[in-house]
Amino acid sequence: MRLIRLLKYDLARETGDWVDDGVISEAQAELICARYEVDYHRAQRRSLGYNVLVGLGYLFIALALITLIGANWEEIPRALRMGGLVALTVGTQCAALRVYLKGDPRAGEGLFLLGSFFFGASIILIAQIYHLGEHMPDGIFWWALGCLPFALITRSPWLALQSGALALLWFILQVSMGYYPMLFPLFIAASLYVLLRGRTSVTLLLLLLVSIGFWVEYSLLQFWRIQQPDAGLEFQPENLAVAISLFAMLYLFGHWLALKNTPVAKDYAAVISVWCLRFALISLLVFSFAQPWESLIKAEWDHRLSMWVVVTALAAVTLFLALTTRRLLSTGILFLCFAAALITVSTSENQDLAVNLQVATNFALVGVGGWLIYRGIHDGISHYFFLGVMSILITGLLRYIDLIGDYLGAALIFILFAGLLLGAAKYWKYHQDRGDTP
């Protein structure tokens, strides 16, 4: 999948400059935009800066009113305070609904956002009036829940982002206090509905994926706490295995999504692919040291059976997606390597194995870097090429600072790096001589 899909609106606006300069005709610009499923004429009118400025303007109006009310809070009678807060919130939302139904949805969404900020401020101030601060996350929950109907009615990504971000904050606060938030899937379902039925939003997609990840991991912790009541909601080593399996499944889901013919699916697939790849490289860099492996070997693996059940279920879904995207062999090999490493750290108490696992991780980094360089040159994807080169350079720098095992092992790694980069250069020159270098 081409990463240029993430910049397609910038490309569409750039073609407008080409048309103005006489480089291409308007018909050619329309064809270029059509290749990436973008409306050329609509893209020229698209203004992210305008929407951001309007949104920030509404935000500062809300902050100004909240500050003004707060400065004179004690002088205002209690009944007037209560009635004023309710009237301000209800009035703003009614005005937003009126503007929205009159055919100006973007302005209506902005007013809905403003009304939701007033709603949150009202919850905080009313709680202060009646001294209702016993469990602070409850206020954030009601704020998120109050934003939810407007996000569903308008199917606005901005309103869904507001509700989803507040819900995620409520979720994190609840679990940090030892409580499990049962209603969090409601907000996940609402975000998914808006994502499927509303406008395209990469930010909402990423928020939804993060929310699902947190919910799955903490649901496992809650299940383990039921089995072991003295355990809290702190992350266990088994959570890491589940997280890696989730990212593997998500990466293959992105490739499956890329096979769809809709432009939205292809855009989301590109986003998922890029972020999963970055997660994989960061994880490999972290585990290119011996200390993380030693910590995992020392850790208490008290939930092996349930961990393996979840990992196996996720692996089955991943292999099915790999079969549909013709990546079964490579995915199967990667899962076998992952299973071997997981069995080693969860069953062995031999600390000396940490160095062996560290060396294997560094060779895996070399392999991933080489694969990215190959993909970058062969498929003309500059992001992959530079990401592969960067991963090899960072690995080389880390290994120079922290020598693996002995000097002979480090020298072998450096020779391997040199051979890989020189081979990539030769492959580049081969394509250049053929005239198809990206």
Q: Return the higher-pLDDT residue of 376 and 412.
A: 376
Q: 27 falls in which pLDDT band (50, 70, 90)?
A: confident
Q: Give the residue carrying structure tokens 């893209």.
A: 43
**Whole-structure pTM value:** 0.77
Handedness of CA 378, 383, 388, 392 (dihedral sign): positive
**What is the reported pLDDT for 37?**
59
3-class DSSP string for 253-286: HHHHHHCCCCHHHHHHHHHHHHHHHHHHHHHHHH
331 and 247 share a domain?
A: yes
383 and 310 share a domain?
A: no
**What is the reported pLDDT for 356?**
87
Q: How far apart are CA 383 and CA 373, in angstroms?
A: 9
Q: Is the pLDDT assigned to residue 204 strictly greater than 80? A: yes
Q: How far apart are CA 220 and CA 246, in angstroms?
A: 13
Query: Residue 295 belongs to what domain range?
Result: 236-349
Full DSSP string of 416-433: HHHHHHHHHHHHHHHHHH
The DSSP call for residue 402 is S
What is the phi-psi region of residue 22: left when phi exceeds 0, alpha when psi lies from -120 to 50, beta otherwise?
left
Segment holding 187, helix H or strand E:
helix 184-197
Q: Residue 54 domain-assigned?
A: no
Based on the structure, what is the number of domains in the chain?
2
Of 349, 368, 391, the domain-final residue: 349
Q: How far apart are CA 31 and CA 35, in angstroms?
A: 6
Are the beta carbons of 29 and 60 closer than 8 angstroms? no
305 and 365 share a domain?
A: no
279 and 363 share a domain?
A: no
Of 329, 349, 369, the domain-final residue: 349
Q: What is the mean pLDDT of residues 61-76?
A: 66
| Residue type, position 392, single letter | I
**The two three-digit tokens of residue 43, written as one number:** 């893209």
Of 301, 319, 349, the domain-final residue: 349
**What is the reported pLDDT for 217?**
92
Q: Return the higher-pLDDT residue of 370 and 299.
A: 299
Q: What is the mean pLDDT of residues 269-290?
A: 87
**What is the reported pLDDT for 405?**
47
Q: Residue 12 domain-assigned?
A: no
Q: What is the mean pLDDT of residues 393-406?
A: 64
- 226-243 pLDDT, tens per residue? 776 666 667 888 999 999
- 302-357 pLDDT, tens per residue? 888 999 999 999 999 999 999 998 888 888 998 999 999 999 998 888 888 888 88
* Strand ranges inside 118-227, DSSP E: none
Mean pLDDT of the chain: 79
334 and 430 share a domain?
A: no
- 134-150 pLDDT, tens per residue? 667 888 898 999 999 99
Q: Residue 314 domain-assigned?
A: yes
**What is the reported pLDDT for 180?**
87
In this predicted structure, which of 84-93, 228-237, 342-351, 406-415 has the lowest mean pLDDT? 406-415
Are the beta carbons of 112 and 98 closer than 8 angstroms? no
Q: How far apart are CA 42 and CA 35, in angstroms?
A: 15
Q: 246 falls in which pLDDT band (50, 70, 90)?
A: very high
Q: How far apart are CA 242 and CA 227, in angstroms?
A: 18
250 and 267 share a domain?
A: yes
Long-range contacts for 229-233 (Cβ within 8 Å, ≥24 apart)? Answer: 232/178, 233/175, 233/178, 233/180
**The two three-digit tokens of residue 70, written as one number:** 């707060």
Highest averaged pLDDT of the listed ranges 122-126, 346-350, 373-377, 409-413: 346-350
User: Of 211, 206, 203, 153, which is closest to residue 187 (Cα–Cα)?
Assistant: 211
400 and 429 share a domain?
A: yes
**What is the reported pLDDT for 369?**
81
**The two three-digit tokens of residue 334, written as one number:** 């990667």
